[in-house]
Chain A
Amino acid sequence: MAEQVIVCNELTKRFGDFYAVNKITFEVTKGEIFGFLGANGAGKTTAMRILCGLSYPTSGTATVAGFDVYRQQDQIKRNIGYMSQKFSLYENLTIVENIEFYGGVYGLSRAVIKERSGELIQTLGLEKEAKKLVGSLPLGWKQKLAFSVAIFHRPQIVFLDEPTGGVDPVTRRQFWDMIYEAAASGITVFVTTHYMDEAEYCNRVTIMVDGKIEALDAPQALKQRFQAANMEEVFYQLARSAKRSSD
């Protein structure tokens, strides 16, 4: 059986009487692209924060990269990468400086940073821009660079929180090429998105409604089960019944 890098069992996060995450159970396999969908306020962000070691669950168990979310948050953080639409890179540092900074944060040696950043800049075709401030790059480039930086320390899992919001369709696909490539190299990708066509790119997809996982399967299987032409239809059928929603 394939190695499980994320294992959640009845994971729950409660704020007062409000169950932001309500007994979710799922497993993510190594090298998988795992889509994490849900309406606004369904509990995606809360669940993701727990898995990234940023917040403690109320009950249930979960391990990420083999580490316990209650006791081993530091080890979890060392073994994952994270990128979101809002937070990416320092605008007033150059590309190279950003890479060096994040490499340093994860404790990579100078030699490794130097070697990998050279490779990275070459693959992204940013040789000319390497000494430019990140703030001057177009949005699409920033997002691609941010993703590269998030996996720069070769984490076991990378968490992507709406990585392609507002990005043009061409760059969006280039971004997904990078995701595929990372997955092929063995990095597990855990991704949230508002673009339903992107849900189709995932190996498996969960759809959260009101803090619970209402569906978890391969896109193809979900479409069959809900007799829908595409993932948007599947999502619509599930999320329409949502009782709650907030930002």
Chain B
Amino acid sequence: MKQLLVFIRKEFYHVFRDRRTLLIMFGLPVAQILLFGYALTSEVKNADIVISDQAKDANTAKIISKIKSSSYFIVHEEQLAGPAIDAAFKKGTIKCVLIFPPRFGDDLRHDGKASVQIIADGSDPNTAKTLVNYLSMIMLNYQQDLAGGGGAPIGIIPELRMLYNPEDNGSLNFIPGVIALIFMIVCATLTSVSVVREKELGTMEILLVSPFHPMMVLIAKAIPYLVLSLVNFTFILILSVGFLDIEVKGSLLLLFAESTLFIITCLSVGLLISNIASSQQAAMLISMMGMMLPTLLLTGFMYPLENMPLVLQVISNVVPSRWYYLIVKAVMLKGLGFSAVWRETLVLAGMTVGLLSLALLKFKTRLE
């Protein structure tokens, strides 16, 4: 036991004396949170929109006034037909076109639902997506106004000619993804590098030759990173709440418990990589390519999984961060309890047990 403690202390020395490790450990989360939180948010302001109101009734007038009063759009009211719209988009003077059909108000009154057409500039999909979302929200808001005034429930169905992302796309959704990404980098990369460094130094030979149990080497390597990652997690939460105005809606305890589980998953991945890699560079490369890219691409926080080819959707199921992402989103953003995420937790726990046993099993008590 004393050996384990001394070993862990040594690992802390390594971390705190290496500027590079410290930077990855604590600098990276700050950079990523700020980057994803501010720079990469998809918030758009004062976008030029052309509204072609062919109905000109009370309903459309109200909706248009709502759009005008939001800070998102600069409204140009014009009657535009097909070719003129194309030309305006090509010139780049407008970002979005909203067309109310002639029978909009009638449809709404008689059938309880009506369509509008939204055309967005697909060459800038992120902005397009955001603008569409804003418009949808405004319509929804108007619907709620109408419903609140009594009468039959009505619906406005926006018909889109561009990307459609059902989810709201602010920094809110990035945060759980960024957390998963940070854990993958910090835990998987740093643990694998720290084990491989011992191989390069030749100290691994001494560790193996000592009476210290080889498996304890792995445990001693993993514990400091687990502790540091939890500290890191707290740090990220404070940043998110303090700077990005994100509210943690669910139980903090559950959030930490689930995060601990995911950190162990990442540590197992790191230990597994350290078995394969023989140099620090190789370990770094494998963790970056093998872990970071899937986390970025197949977790669903950068690119919606629903829009991906089936093959990728299937593959995404084996990416641990995908499950963690779902859990954090549910707990942190939606305020759901364990009953809502037990399935995801089970999948993640299964993966962790599998990866960890594989890492321990593969760890050699000899050099070959």
A and B touch in the complex (CB under 8 A): no
Interface residues of A (CB under 8 A from B): none
